[in-house]
Amino acid sequence: MHCPFAAGGRRLRFETTIVSVTSEHFDDPVAAYDRIALHYSELRLRRDPYLRGVEREVISRIAPGSHSLLDVGAGDGTRACRIASQLGIRRVVLVEPSREMAGNAVEHAEVWPVRAEDLTPEGVERAERFDIITCLWNVLGHVSTAEKRLQALAAIARLLAPNGKFFLDVNHRYNASSYGVLPTSARWIRDLLSPDDHNGDALAKWNAGAAQITTFGHVFTRREIVHLAAAAGLEMEERIIVDYETGHTRRFAFQGNLLYVFRRSSRIDSSSAPQTS
């Protein structure tokens, strides 16, 4: 046993600071993002290796000459503008339903204040098509039901130019590197024995200042994404596995999250709005 004395018999003073953490839950993810808006840059910095890794993979797959980018669930727009800047893309539109997040958007950014599932001709002021569409950092996982997730992807497919690319980054339900082998195995067994659209529902958590903020989240399987995309009119070009801790690409799906590259399916009616480029 060590006693709190220094050499010479002097008593050392120990001071303990107890930090009180409050819990706040929001049923609506948009309200949760309103709450964390002031802390968003700090939260983003905590995952910077992963976010930068995803951006690197996205940028490397965009052909020169792309002129327009739509970012769905854009937050403050920092990532979309960073991607556009590196590629010389001049038209950037941010889809962000959180009033507080949109209020922190980069200066002069064009913001569509609608939810992903509301990107319909009725939900936006004008219809156009984009060379590049991004939906990153599990934004799709904050859409509350499978039906609404399909609605969001179908809307994105309609907004994608015929030769455009759509990049979708989601949290992988079987990411054993992040969730651990036993919990991941339990998820796999549950999906095998009792498949259900709600199996991937989870709490999204952020530590923001002295509060822990929670809201609805969903984590995905490969099969789930492929099924949704096909039903929405999207065809997969590529799947990339990205380590959630380091941002490095990995060989096996259980080693990271899922980044998809989609193109518009040829079966979609091409007579809708004109391409912006």
| Residue 110, both tokens | 């064009």
Q: Is 40's pLDDT higher than 90?
A: yes
Residue 136's domain comprises: 39-172+221-264
Is residue 191 situated within a structural domain? Answer: no
109 domain residue, yes or no: yes
178 within some domain: no
Average pLDDT, rounded, for the chain: 90
Is there a domain that residue 229 lies in? yes
> Does residue 180 form part of some domain?
no
pLDDT at 208: 93
Which has the closest alpha carbon to 220: 204, 239, 201? 201
Tell me if the pTM is above 0.85.
yes
In a domain, 5, yes or no: no
Gap between the Cα atoms of 164 and 185, Å rounded: 37
Q: Is residue 225 part of a domain?
A: yes
Does 2 fall in a domain?
Answer: no
Rounded Cα distance between 1 and 231, Å, is 66
User: Do residues 258 and 239 touch, judged by C-beta distance below 8 A?
Assistant: yes
For the cut 50, the answer to whether the pLDDT of residue 9 exceeds it is no
CA distances from 200 to 19, 169, 222 (A): 32, 16, 12
CATH number, domain containing residue 56: 3.40.50.150
**Domain count along the chain:** 1
CA distances from 10 to 1, 6, 14, 15, 16 (A): 17, 5, 13, 16, 19
Of 8-17, 118-127, 199-208, least confident by mean pLDDT is 8-17
